[in-house]
Amino acid sequence: MEGEKAISLLAELYKQYPKHYVAVDCSIFGYEDGELKLLLYPRGFEPAQGKWSLMGGFVQENESMEEAARRVLLQTTGLKDIFLEQATAFSKPDRDPGARVISMTFVALIRIDIHDKDLVRESGAHWWPVTKLPALIFDHSEIVTNGLALLQQKASIDLIGKELLPDMFTLMQLRNLYEAIFQKTFDPGNFRKKVLSLDILERLSVKNTKESKKGAFYYKFKSGDYGLRSERIVKFP
């Protein structure tokens, strides 16, 4: 066929161009003990031994970059179907001392309460509060800063929480999450009114009586995919 011949000519044309290693690196955020945390892996060998790194991996022949990221996340946390969003690519020729590696970075949001803790522990990984991060290899600090900014931007447009909190949560827990993300305090009353006005939370009949004397109702996200069908834009400063 003509078509096939054309395609093989195209393949021939491409041969003059260089190929590159392509990696994915994930900023994996979780929320625990009132803090926003980042999952990091210790580097056991030189160069940069003793520093920490984001979880990453190389893109294989038969997978897209997002598939590569999901594969890596499944291997390291045991979780499927996690929130994953493409962030910024880093491609300076000398960013990795081992070879020229182009890295596509992703932001992943994990519910710490349901991930595979044993799997994480085995690998020596550790959840670090984003306010006290250790030294990271290569340009990974820059990647994290970039991912955090993306997370903040996302949180200011959508109401996130489904991805980071347990199924049931109190409005104080949700507010504390937002305070951890934005590193600022929100007025409890105003936060409550704003969030409830969005009409995407459902109040349950159960109360949490541990974190307050009076007891606070649990809420959950309404079922039926909001965020896709809703045009609502939430503006948190």
Active site residues: 122
- Residue 168 has φ and ψ, to the nearest 5°, of -110, 140
Question: At closest approach, how far in Å is the CB of 111 from DNA?
Answer: 20
Task: Give CA separation, 82 vs 71, 132, 177, 211, 235, in Å.
Answer: 11, 25, 18, 28, 24
Please report which helix (H) or strand (E) contains residue 143, including its range: helix 140-157
Q: Return residues touching DNA (CB under 7 A).
A: 170-172, 187-190, 192-194, 197, 207, 209, 211-217, 235, 237
Which is nearer to DNA, 83 or 182 (by Cβ)? 182
| Nearest-angstrom CA–CA distance, 217 and 208 | 6
Question: Which of the listed partners (DNA, a second copy, none) does 33 bind, with a CB threshold of 5 to 8 Å by partner kind?
Answer: none
Which is nearer to a second copy, 98 or 224 (by Cβ)? 98
Residue in 101, 82, 85 with CA at minimum distance from that of residue 19? 101
Question: At closest approach, how far in Å is the CB of 201 from DNA?
Answer: 11
**DSSP category for residue 230:** -
C-beta atoms surrounding 127 within 10 Å: 20
Q: What angle do CA 224, 157, 105 make, to 5 degrees?
A: 95
Which is nearer to DNA, 144 or 171 (by Cβ)? 171
Give the three-class secondary structure for 206.
Answer: strand
Which is nearer to a second copy, 63 or 116 (by Cβ)? 63
Give the three-class secondary structure for 66.
Answer: helix
Q: Return residues touching a second copy (CB under 8 A).
A: 2-3, 6-7, 9-11, 13-14, 17-22, 45-47, 58-66, 86, 88-89, 91-93, 97-102, 104, 235
